[in-house]
Structure formats: C-alpha cells, structure tokens
Structure 1
Amino acid sequence: MTGIYDDQFVNRLQQGVLQLAPRWGAGAEASVRLLTLSENATFLLEQPDKEPLVIRVHRPDYHSRAEIASELNWIQTLRDNQVVTTPALIPLDDGSFIASFDDQGQTRYVVAFAFMPGTEPDADANLIPGFELLGATSARLHQQASAWTLPPAFQRKTWNFDSAFGAQPLWGDWRAAPGLTPAGQDTLERLCQRLQQRLANYGETPDRFGLVHADLRLANLLVNDKQLAVIDFDDCGFSWFMYDFAAAISFYETSPLVPELQQAWLRGYCSVQPLADEHIQMIPDFILFRRLLLTAWIASHPETETAAAAGHETYTQGTVELAQQWLNQQETNQ
C-alpha cells in the first residue's frame, strides 16, 4: 500500500543515519540496518567490539524539535529518579541529543538510544503477571507526572477528543479507514457522538488527565529476566491516565484475555496508588477511543508493518463490531 516509507525514502534515511554515525563515535566499519517502520523509522547502528545503538529517525511533519526535546527531557527525568527502566539517551559529540540531516530540502530529526536486551511479551495468558507489573509501572509514571513541574519550554501533543477526532485529527480521519462501509461509518459516527459526550462529562481535571506515555503497547515493552522495561516515548503527551491501559491492549482489544488483563493492570496500579471507581468505569470508553484512533492511524500509515499486521480492512471491521457492542451496552445501562 502507498505511504511515505517506500524503498527509496527508507534508503535515504539509512544513508542519512550512516553519515551521522561518527557523531556518536562510530568508526568507518559501522553499519546501519533497518529495525522497524511504524510512526518513525528505527535503525540499528552496529560496529565491531561496541554495543549497538538504536537510532530513531522521526517521521516528517509529526513532532517539532521542541516536542522531541521535551520527550527526551521527560525520559531523562524518569531515569534520574528511577521511576521506570528505559534505555539511556546517547549524546552526540557536542553533548546534545538531537541530530539532523537534510533530506531533499527537509530536515529529518534523529535521536539515539542505548540498545537494551529483552523481548516483546507474547499475547497469551502469560501476559497476566506482566500486566500487573505494567499497572504498577503506569501508576508510578502518573505519580511522577502529576508531581513534576514541567520545564517552561515543555511541549507535547494533547490526546483528547478534539485532537483525535476533531477538525485536524493528529492521526488522520477514521472515515478513510480501509473497507469501511456506509453502515459501518454510521455506527462509528454514533460512537463518536456518544464518546464525545461521555468524555466531556468525565472532564480533564488534574486528578484524571496529565502527562502519559500514551503508547504502552506490547511492542514498546521489553521483558528481560522478569524485569519490565518501557521504550518509545514518541507519543507521550497529555491525556487521561486511564488511556494508558487502553494503549496497552492496542491491537488485542478483542482478545478474550482483556478482562483478566484489565484486572491484573488494576491490581498493579492500586498497589502503588488508589483508583476511584469513576476512573475504572471509564476504561471501556478509552478502549474504544484508542481503537478508533488506531483505525485512523492505519488509514494514514498503510505502508507500515504495524498496519499490515493489524490487517487493514479486518481491523476496520473489528472496530465497527466493537463499537456496536459498546453502543448496545450504553443503551442497556441507560
């Protein structure tokens, strides 16, 4: 499917990273190979007798330099305070952390992280203990974010109804989703109307809305000897704290394990700080919010490995089915 990450574009990015490699101390024998294509392009910088580096080339026209600097600021603060295990930032030869190169007249921003061993958790019953640990990790992140005085220049995106589904949606319009039928669009329009009302009633006060990771899905977790590390803060921004659970089950929203995963996550969360019922009761809303947001993302990022794994049209159909179930439940509860 069409998209920005065609072979020529990826090759240009790879060459740009290779040109920057000496600024991270890499020698002439260094090599660069593609790891993943999702929102950004991620490469592995390897050289003999040295630990590899993970290099992230930011997607054009998504985050500003100030937003990237703010992400890195939060990561370093979390590391300094031992809030979460996450890879170290790797500085350039001048001590800065954001590199760039020119790509046909456009600036591409690049950051480097230490390589961290571990594997992505499997989506099976063994996830349940891990989700309890993830819940505790999420609570610690929310505690730190709530207590932290943001630096004056801190800039990150906001993930709320308007930014997700308003006039200028951050990830595109879900109405462009592959395989969306008129009947399906009608169902999702009704979902939007109901979600907008319920989220407005819930509100965005500081006890429920703040700085969050916003993408704690399995692909951004690393398990190594029963230790959980969190990677990829690229989507971190301001949203509802319970949205972090919805993000954690991204692409597995229809799994029969979701209720058990939710209970495990809540056990872990409440072992760190209490959670009022009004927040817990909103979790199904955030699951649908995230699902619709991902449906829009797949429509605007069709060429990525993530979109292909989700199934394009299959994912759209699943979104419509989940939306109808949620709407039916809402009618029952009225």
Structure 2
Amino acid sequence: MPPGEALADAPGRRCPLHYRTRPAAFAVEAPAHLQGLEVLYVVGGLYGNELALDRVLDLFDAERGRKRLVFNGDFHWFDVDPGRFARVQQAVLRHEALRGNVETELADPDAAAGAGCGCAYPDWVGDGVVERSNRILERLRGATTPDQRAALGALPMGLRADVGALRVGIVHGDPTSLAGWGFAQEHLREAAHRRRVAGWFDEAQVDAFACSHTCLPVFQAIAARPGGGPRWVLNNGAAGMPNVSGDLAGLLTRVSVRPFDGPARRFGTVAGGVHLDGLAIDFDPRAWMARFRRDWPPGSDAHVSYAERIARGPAYDAAEIVRADG
C-alpha cells in the first residue's frame, strides 16, 4: 500500500475518501493576493500553543514587503479550554488558513463516522498513540461551538502561492490526501518513494510543497525537471512542539526573496534565488509546560503521548533535516 494510505481500517488509521486530493489540483495560477509575494510563512502543527502563536505573530510582524502568513492545519489540539480554543481560532483566522485533520474532524457533523482523529497513522505508530489521539480529539470537540466548527469546515485543504518566481503548493499532509504521510521524513529516505514524489511535482507544476502533519521536520530535495533545479518538500514538523533533540523551539517554514536576518534561522537552502528557511519559534518552555499540565495532567492522554517530547524534544537530529536527493 503506498505511503500516505491508512494501513488499517480502524479509527485514527483510516483515511476517509473525502480527504483525498489530486496533485493536478495545484497546476493553477495562485490567487491574486498570493501572487508576487516577497515573504511567505507556513505554520503547521501549532497544536493550540498560544505562546508559540504569539511568537509567530511577532516574527511575521517584523517582516517587510508583500507578505502572507498561512496556518496549514492542526492549529488546534491541546487547547481544550474553551477560552483558549476561541483565542487561537480568532487569531489564526485573521490570516490564511487550511484545515488539517484535527479541524476537519472537529467540523464533521457525523462524529461517529469512524475516522477518529483523522490522523491516518502509518504502521510504525503504536496502537496506544492512535487510541489516545482519538480520545484527545473527542475531548477537544467539547471545547467548541457550532459556529466555530462551521468556520473550520469552510477552510480549504490546499493553496497555491508564488514567492518571487517560485511556485509553492501548500498542503497539510501531501498532495494526495489531507492526512497523507507521503512527505514524512521516514518515507522520504527511500529513493523509490522520492521518484513517486517527483511525479506528484510534475502533476502539480510547482517548485515546492510546504506541509506539516507528520510531526518531524524535513527539507527534502526532489529530482529536477529537465533544465530546472531541484524541487523541495518543506515540512516544518511542528510549530507548537520541539522538533529536534535538545532544542525546545517550534519551527515554521519561511519562503522569501530575501535572506532572514536574525538568530531564529535554524537551517535552510536556496532554490531559484528564493530562500527556504526553517525558523525557530522560541517560547518559554517552562511556562508552556505549566499551561499544558493544567489541562493535561500526568496520566491524561496528551500527557502520556507528548509530555516527554515537550520537555526534551524528540529523538531526532537537526543534521537530518536538510537532505539532497540521493
């Protein structure tokens, strides 16, 4: 079964048919307000972290020129307090936003449809993680109002944007599914899978895909079209959680005609004269852990699944993020 498909017919692993998309859907002109950009921020996996949200907005406010900020899904997750949920949603929807699997399942009026959290977890993710994620989603649904859920359901699953001459497709998972794992760093290690991804780029006629969903960051070069440079998968991992061992910052993807001037740049590359960077979202980790534990105390589902990562970062090395095709 190809990467990005659900590997078992169970809630949390199932990929609903209405999640499916086509790479060719991105072979269109970008909307007028997303053309000619000088700076594009793509922020995936905020997970309801208000401290990270404040830092993202500070970084974006400091940018100059024609700019856009896109939250590409799963901006809700830990924010089970109704007041926090409302504040996060209000701030996010002032900017461009896509719905991830979290927002899609919150908006689904048929909550018993069997998708669970909608994560479409692959087989390397244990059943305990899947079951806890399903219960987190159910608890989060209790923090919402009908109007909030309707607003989430109205969000698109993908966007096209142009930064300088670089054509960018923005997705939550991958261009075949809202919850696809085709841009996971694990799958992108495989040469055969990268060839499949190159076909997606050919169909989409873009130079980069910005994504998240899979929780670990990777900037992966993909084989060039004849006469062109490499295409890039730009996966920021998570904006609201640590992404590498020993570094407790979240990450966002910045695409710009100008280099980033500041200490927040953690890694990056240049494609067609456009700068592709991963920026650190530095927030007070102790303050965030205290807020997290108020809603998710020890023994709760989110605490079991995420507290270790929030406290120490995942077992993933920063040197693994930017990768050549080969």
TM-score by length of 2: 0.28
Q: Which has the higher strand share?
A: 2
TM-score by length of 1: 0.28
Q: Which has the higher helix share?
A: 1
Which structure is larger by alpha-carbon Rg, 1 or 2? Answer: 1
